[in-house]
Amino acid sequence: MSGDLMAIRDDFPILQREVNGRSLIYFDNAATTQKPKVVIDAMTDYYQSMNANVHRAVHTLAGESTEAYESCRENLRKWFSAEKVIFTSGTTEAINLAAHAWGKHNLNKGDVVLLTEMEHHSDIVPWQMLSREIGVELRYVPVAEDHTLDMELLRASMEGVKLVCFVHTSNVLGARNPVEEIVSISKKHGAKVLIDAAQAVPHSRIDFTSMNIDFLACSAHKMCGPTGIGCLLVSPGTFLEMEPFMGGGDMIETVTLEGSTYQKNEHKFEAGTPKIAEAVGWDAAINWLSKIDLQFEHERLLDMARHTANRLRAIPGMTVFGQHTDGDSAVVSFIHDKVHPEDMARLLDARGIALRTGHHCAQPLMEKLGVNGTLRASFYLYNTQEEVETMLSTIESIVERFS
């Protein structure tokens, strides 16, 4: 199937849909990807044939459900070359988990957490909340005029830093940050590292262990899996420094009226009935993605993004953000000086073309760019060059109409 675009497209039932009388063209993949039929079927089969709670009973359905649920964790361990995989509801909960289960117990007043101006809100707000609670200092690495991180200021900001949190790939600019360099600088200063990899995991295999980082957060729904599930990868040593922040069933060893003891494995951070069907769906998505040449697709999609950016820049009044260099993701954010992003998005939707508008949960970056929001086209495995040409010709006609 790898490299066979039509075979890939055939796996996605939603692509058969029409929107406003036109064949759907879906370019909102940075927000969420569509789901192949094997993922939909796996979740349906779970509910139809084995629905039961996990880790608790010895009957057949419970055993099958537990095996299916834990199969996803084992698959993720192999996919990411990671030992500790904690299930969460997504990237946002994963980062909050790191803040509460590790940060709250290992950071003190005056310790520094280093962030960047291009972070998603999910990698800003939890640390702001922790700052208010225990008095940690937050510093932000600025975004330079060329839409990359100011690495000189990053180096100059490392004094007293205990944790460095940064986005692997920007959901607005598509920029892949110099991950290896940032990790090296951080480790030389004795800081732990958390990477928001939500936008990276759909496009490349990440080896968590070889990266020498402490936390990695991601979501299933960005990589053809279901919504409502993600994970926090944690290095073994850092895992031992974490304390549970949510108590309840399944995360305990013993409970008495006087106190409780907790599990030693990842279940320690997974209180209550977990996201079983979602794990089954994510497992199916990983198996499906394993058949795709992600490097080939990354290069194909990045070429589409470069072509899109170049065509848009040729339109009078259009501003395009990002460089789209090797390693960047296939995301193109843009604005026009006469057509409001929401107006353009609605006109595109009238022709069956789905783009994102708004601040993309990155308001500090929007402020740095001097805009309130952008239009964003983001491409994924099932998108074609023909779809791109349709979008571009439509945008050109819209701009001409309002100029």
* Active-site annotation, residues: 361
User: Any bridge partners for residue 28, and if so which?
Assistant: 378
| C-alpha dihedral, 290 to 295 to 298 to 300, nearest 10° | -110
Helix or strand or coil: residue 89?
coil
CA 270 to chain centre: 20
Which backbone phi and psi does 87 adopt, to 5 degrees?
-75, 140
- As a whole number of Å, the end-to-end CA separation of the chain is 44
Report residue 164 CA to chain centroid gap.
Answer: 18
Structure token digits, residue 329: 């993701």
Place of tokens 């419970």: 62
* Interatomic CA distance for residues 396 and 23, integer angstroms: 19
Residue with tokens 């192999």: 78
Sign, CA torsion 334/336/337/342: negative
**Contact in structure between 280 and 298 (CB atoms under 8 Å):** no
- Identify the three-state secondary structure at position 29: coil
| Rama region for 253: left / alpha / beta (φ>0; ψ in -120 to 50; rest) | alpha
Residue 356: closest CA among 376, 386, 374, 340: 376
Residue 90's φ and ψ, nearest 5 degrees, are: 155, -170
DSSP bridge partners of 133: none
Provide Rg for the chain, Cα atoms: 22
Question: What is the H or E stretch that residue 302 is in?
Answer: helix 294-313
* 37 CB-near residues (< 8 Å, 6+ apart): 11, 12, 13
β-sheet bridge partners, residue 149 = 143
